[in-house]
Amino acid sequence: MADLLQISANEMKFLVKRSVEGLGFTPGDQLGAGARAAACYQYGLANSAVIDAALSNLQAAVTGPVLIDKGDEWLFDAQGQSALVQAELALGAALSHGASAVRVRNTSQGMLVAPVLMAWLSKPMAQGAVQQSMALYFVSQKGDQRCLWLAANGMPLGLYQPKSEVVASNELLVRVAEEDVDAHLITDGADLLGWRERSLDQGLLVDLNLVTRLKTMMMDSFVPESEESRNSGAGPS
Amino acid sequence: MQNAMLRPPAQAMDLNRLGAGFASRLSFMRTLVRHMTDNQWRIEYSRFNLDENGYGHVVFDIQSPNSHLSFVVFSQYLDSSERNDRVIAEKWDLTMTLMEGGVDDATLAMLEANVPLQEAGRIDARSISLARANRSARVFGEVLENLRHGQQPDVQRLTEVGYLYRTTAVYGSGKFGSCDWDKVVNQHPDLARPFAGEMLVCYLLRQFSLDQLHHMAHQDAYPNAVEMDVDLQRYLGIGNSTGLGMAPWLINHPQVIAQWVLQRETALANVLQTEVTAEKISQLQGLMSRACQHVSEVSTFDDWQAQNNRVLLADLEALNDWFNDAASEVNSWQQINTWAEQNYSLETQELLVNLFLEMYPQMVDSLEDQMAAVESLQYDPTASAQDLADAVQESYDWVFDYDFSDVKQCETFWYYSQGKIEPRLGKIGTDDGAELQMFLGIAKAVQECHTALLALLADDADATVADFLLLNPSQQAIVARIATMSQTHFGEIRANLLDAGVLPMHLLRAKLSFFGVSKFDPKSALWVRNTMFQGAPLVSDLMADDKSAIKEDWSFPVAPKSLASNAAAQQEVTHG
């Protein structure tokens, strides 16, 4: 069993943000990555393996998803980028034009986009028609089909296992106004919220190897020491 | 009451003005003490294990209406050569944590192995705050020797310093394994105001500093030792040394700052509408007099701050003379406020604002419950790009005052060093690391975003925010910021942090004034010393059945007047 370290959600945010910054991503990607890693961990939608894989799948040279098709289901190519960053650009663009379904292919760790949808739905949107229940389909880290069903106010209704394949292993899919999901319930919304409460109460238990990796990665976002720099710091030396 | 007129954002959010702020009734220290007093918090030691040199540990047991908390302090020997207030320090005189629940032996052992290490250790989600402090090398030994030999300390000496220990860092919000702010909000409502946990740490640290001092004074070798005069104890606060780290915080938490300013400005607007009476003018003069004495007792070698203090004293003297000659001509507080804005320094203006608030607690105090903000900078992807561009024009018009083609206006960059992640400033073209600078150039980023928005709208007038971001993904952070902050009344702090002449001191003071500190003593443009809780009631005052010793208004503390004669009398008795 891996050694675990208890950290706060705020630390998770900081570590992931800084690690993504160290790879050269923009401030929006940095902030988004930190916030969604922490939120998914709090809800039990992500664990250390998910965050670790999402970091490994980051593509620093990719600046955003590419629109492939605007049919009934809008289709984007994430160009290999994990959903830790940028996937929301595709979802937002499709939803803002009334798409009822958005599929992003060539991505990974699709569960990480869930906090973005929750946040969007939690506040009134300019286009009220978009403000409906949403189902986020993705593939778990173990390769199982999953569906996170969200109410129109962004609250989680439950995590499900679809009865048939809805997304390929490198895809995520959002369906708007999903009135029912053809799936087995894994855990309901109250459990997800309860998980978050427990995470707040006790902190996040994270694989020590992931923490070590994040701390190493984030060093690339800090400026190396020099005597001159050290002397310019604030305070008496 | 009619709808009160708030000061415009251009005025209230101007960094120079924010950097001239003072503590007020809404400052977090005042709020905390009010709540501890009104809600009869119980604070006592459950462990007091210090040796004759003051080294060891203590545990305060704290019972508030909704929480049982513990405050654990570790005291260790620190060679003077190791005493350093900067983030890069690795050892301190005192280290401490505020945590929920009681402290058993196992917990104490865990804390003892970690808290003294600070960043290098780990605490867990039972802890709310982690902090450290260094002894005032100048004063502690002198005061201790005085007390041990039956003498009261030199008031003038204490006036110059004002504390026995100064904090060099007080961490909360999940740092180093401590609990997240959301947990505090959910489970500890008595601390669910901005920085209430951190302020409690500083308040109890101040009490510890006095108790440790007395413990060390009253050793067997010093049979004539005396207690420090209780008024002098109240006059001592806890020192604080604040550097650059606080500055990025203000820019990274714009919703919080906007909320703080909104409450203060609401209070001011309400007060400015009230009727002026001779009694209130007299009260204001009394407050001004105390503030003058307080400022005149501030010890600083900083020329800029010293000059500000001199101007403030002259302004207040002029205003007081005018009140004495023509108080009957005062029609409204607005008249005084306008006069001050036209004739006095920013510091004088902001001091008067806070004195106005001091006179009307019934209009002000309830606003303290509105100080907290739920933070989330986010955009609505379905909003129109045109609306976003309009929001820039309406709420961020001030960013167009800057010309970023002028290299001087974007010469400064802010960064973190790899060593202990210390925030520092650099100059582009001179210092290394500009490519790793923090995202603090808000004005520049808004200008660039606006330019890109107009370019898109020229091609597609119906574009959505999401369309814009798909084409301009690097704009996500600033779009979320504009979309969120344009919905607030006061919006952003108005300043260009990239300017060659940026003064971080203004940012530090802005935040510290909301904390409630006093006696700003800048040590450079990058860091400042100040005092916290000077004049506040002692824990023994809070615990007393008779609360008459508690001064509700302990702002602008001044040195006790009668101590010189008290000390002389006490010496006669002691030696008699």
Residue B303: exposure state from Cβ atoms within 10 A (0-12, 13-18, ≥19): exposed
Question: Residue A236 has what pLDDT?
Answer: 46
User: Hey, are the CB atoms on A92 and B465 less than 8 Å from each other?
Assistant: yes
Query: For residue A20, is pLDDT > 70?
Result: yes
Give dist(CA B530, CA B242) in Å, integer: 8
Question: Residue B567 has what pLDDT?
Answer: 46
Give dist(CA B138, CA B135) in Å, integer: 9
Computed on alpha carbons and rounded to an integer, the radius of gyration of chain A in Å comes to 19
Q: Does B466 touch chain A (CB under 8 A)?
A: yes
User: Hey, are the CB atoms on A222 and B421 less than 8 Å from each other?
Assistant: yes
Domain of B74?
Answer: 39-243+533-575
8 A C-beta contact, residue B349 and residue B341: yes
Q: Does B181 touch chain A (CB under 8 A)?
A: yes
Question: Residue B172 has what pLDDT?
Answer: 94
Label residue A173 by pLDDT band (50, 70, 90): very high
- Give tens-digit pLDDT for A41-63: 999 999 999 999 999 999 999 99
H or E segment to which residue B356 belongs: helix B346-358
User: Hey, are the CB atoms on A236 and B86 less than 8 Å from each other?
Assistant: yes
- Number of domains, chain B: 1
- Give tens-digit pLDDT for B322-346: 999 888 888 899 999 999 999 999 9
- Residue at B341 is within a domain: no
Q: What is the mean pLDDT of residues A221-234?
A: 74
* Chain B nearest CA to A96, separation (Å): 4
- Residue at B16 is within a domain: no
User: Hey, are the CB atoms on B432 and A229 less than 8 Å from each other?
Assistant: yes
Residue B455, by phi and psi: left (phi above 0), alpha (psi -120 to 50) or beta? Answer: alpha
* CA-based nearest residue to B384, from B269, B483, B476: B483
8 A C-beta contact, residue B226 and residue B574: yes
pLDDT under 50: residue ranges of chain B: 1-2, 564-565, 567-576
Give dist(CA B150, CA B44) in Å, integer: 27
| ipTM for the predicted complex | 0.96
User: Hey, are the CB atoms on B417 and A229 less than 8 Å from each other?
Assistant: yes
Q: Which amino acid is at B43?
A: I
Question: Residue B570 has what pLDDT?
Answer: 46
B386: which chain A residues are within 8 Å (Cβ-Cβ)?
none
- Give tens-digit pLDDT for B215-239: 999 999 999 999 999 999 999 999 9
Label residue A229 by pLDDT band (50, 70, 90): low
* CA-based nearest residue to B136, from B115, B166, B158, B111: B166
Q: Does A231 touch chain B (CB under 8 A)?
A: no
State how far the alpha carbon of B228 is from the alpha carbons of B166, B231, B563, in Å: 19, 8, 10
Question: Residue B1 has what pLDDT?
Answer: 46
Residue of B nearest to A235 (CA): B86
Question: Residue B144 has what pLDDT?
Answer: 97
DSSP string, B246-263: HHHHHHH-HHHHHHHHHH
- Residue at B467 is within a domain: no
| B 210-249 → A contacts, CB under 8 A | 241, 243-245
Question: Residue B54 has what pLDDT?
Answer: 98
Instruction: Report the 10 Å Cβ neighbour count for A199.
Output: 24
- Residue at B552 is within a domain: yes
Question: Residue B574 has what pLDDT?
Answer: 40
A8: which chain B residues are within 8 Å (Cβ-Cβ)?
125, 173-175, 177-180
User: Hey, are the CB atoms on A233 and B436 less than 8 Å from each other?
Assistant: no
Enumerate long-range contacts of B444-447, CB under 8 Å, 24 or more apart.
Answer: B444/B399, B444/B402, B444/B404, B444/B410, B444/B496, B444/B498, B445/B477, B445/B478, B446/B392, B446/B396, B446/B399, B446/B478, B446/B482, B447/B399, B447/B400, B447/B402, B447/B404
* Chain B nearest CA to A70, separation (Å): 13
User: Hey, are the CB atoms on A28 and B474 less than 8 Å from each other?
Assistant: yes
Give dist(CA B93, CA B75) in Å, integer: 6
* Chain A nearest CA to B420, separation (Å): 10
Q: Number of C-alpha atoms within 13 angstroms, CB side, residue B534? A: 30
8 A C-beta contact, residue A71 and residue A57: no
Residue tagged 């505090």 (tokens): B184
Q: Does A152 touch chain B (CB under 8 A)?
A: no
* Chain B nearest CA to A140, separation (Å): 27
8 A C-beta contact, residue B418 and residue B411: no
What's the sign of the alpha-carbon dihedral B414, B418, B423, B429? negative
- Residue at B422 is within a domain: no
Q: Does A110 touch chain B (CB under 8 A)?
A: no
- Residue at B479 is within a domain: no
Give dist(CA B78, CA B140) in Å, integer: 14
- Give tens-digit pLDDT for A180-227: 889 999 999 999 999 999 999 999 999 999 999 999 999 999 998 777
User: Hey, are the CB atoms on A120 and B381 less than 8 Å from each other?
Assistant: yes
Antiparallel, parallel or unpaired: β A73-77 and A145-150: unpaired
- Lookup: tokens for A234: 């604030």
